[in-house]
Amino acid sequence: MEKRRLGNSELYVNPVGLGCMGFSHASGDPMEKGAAVKTIREAYEIGYDFFDTAEVYTGIYPDGTISHNEELVGEALKGVRDQVVIATKMGVHHNEDLTLRMDSRPEIIRKSVEESLKRLGTDYIDLYYQHRIDPKVEPETVAETMTELIREGKIRYWGISEATEEYLRRASAVCPVTAIQNRYSMMARWHETIFPVCEELNVSYVAFSPLANGILSGKYTPDTKFEGRQDYRGGMPQYTKEGYAKAKGLLELLSRLAEEKHATMGQISLAWMLCKKPYIVPIPGSRKIERLKENFGAGSIALSAAEVADIDAKLDTMSFDVFGGHTAK
């Protein structure tokens, strides 16, 4: 399994990374701390070497205490810190009604990085993302702050999540961006327009929600009982009966391809993007060891350029209702 270089950096990672959000946020009640730490460490033993978290990934345990995702990641990777790449994010905060508040002022970035370093139990962050664009702060201002943090040794490289072309270009002109992290899956292809910019600027594309919040694994349907208020999937459009019906053709295609390749539907979904561009690194998440092994194994599945093109041609004839604010087609 050949490692992938993140942008122009000295960071090399295996093709599939681990999105750690679900251990404490958005996938039901947070996983019990000891079990979560053990599972993340087992992911490292499986072969994962790229771990993604964020300061805003928190959840509430049944006893009312808070689960901080960064703390779980930091504890799990003690003793192997120099063998992994840790990415975290700043600039997003939850309001009481669960809406998001953006704040990327320099003083907030500096406060956030210090708190993240403490929670992670490390003295440097490999890849530090601006989690969402703050319309009140110019990209040049954010990039200047990142330049200072790199110079001070607190972060090694930086990136932007949910990046646009204009913002990426302006920010990268001040401090080269190593990676963007945008939504991307077979059902969410609207950011493909930024691929040429990634290639021009040598920026990696870290794909979050690469299985479209699980539906492309073939394991979930509109009848799936998700885990209440702290699991957001139940309200997503792809899990309505109408949305699921629109995805039926794609799920059938994945099922056929999985049988042909002796793989799973989820593995084909990940292999499709891995074989599409050498700078894409998907970061699926799971709490289950068997699923972690399955996802990681997608890095060893080869699809030819012709097979990828054939899948793309079929996707071009489909439309989906999918979480993320776009109608994909």
pLDDT digits (tens, 9 = 90+) for 87-129: 999 999 888 776 789 999 999 999 999 999 999 999 999 999 9
Round to whole Å and give the CA distance between 229 and 320: 25
Mean predicted confidence (pLDDT) in 164-171: 98
- Of the candidates 38, 28, 26, the one whose C-alpha atom is nearest the C-alpha of residue 73 is 38
DSSP state of 162: S
Helix 265-276 and helix 241-261: axis angle, to 10°? 80
- Residues with catalytic function: 57
The whole-number pLDDT of residue 226 equals 64
End-to-end Cα separation, the chain, in angstroms = 32
Total residues found in the chain within this entry: 329
Q: Decide if 172 contacts 203 (C-beta within 8 A).
A: yes
**Other beta carbons less than 10 A from residue 98's beta carbon:** 8
The arithmetic mean of pLDDT across residues 214-224, rounded, is 80
How far is Cα 199 from Cα 11, in angstroms, rounded to an integer? 17
Q: Please tell me the pTM assigned to this model.
A: 0.94
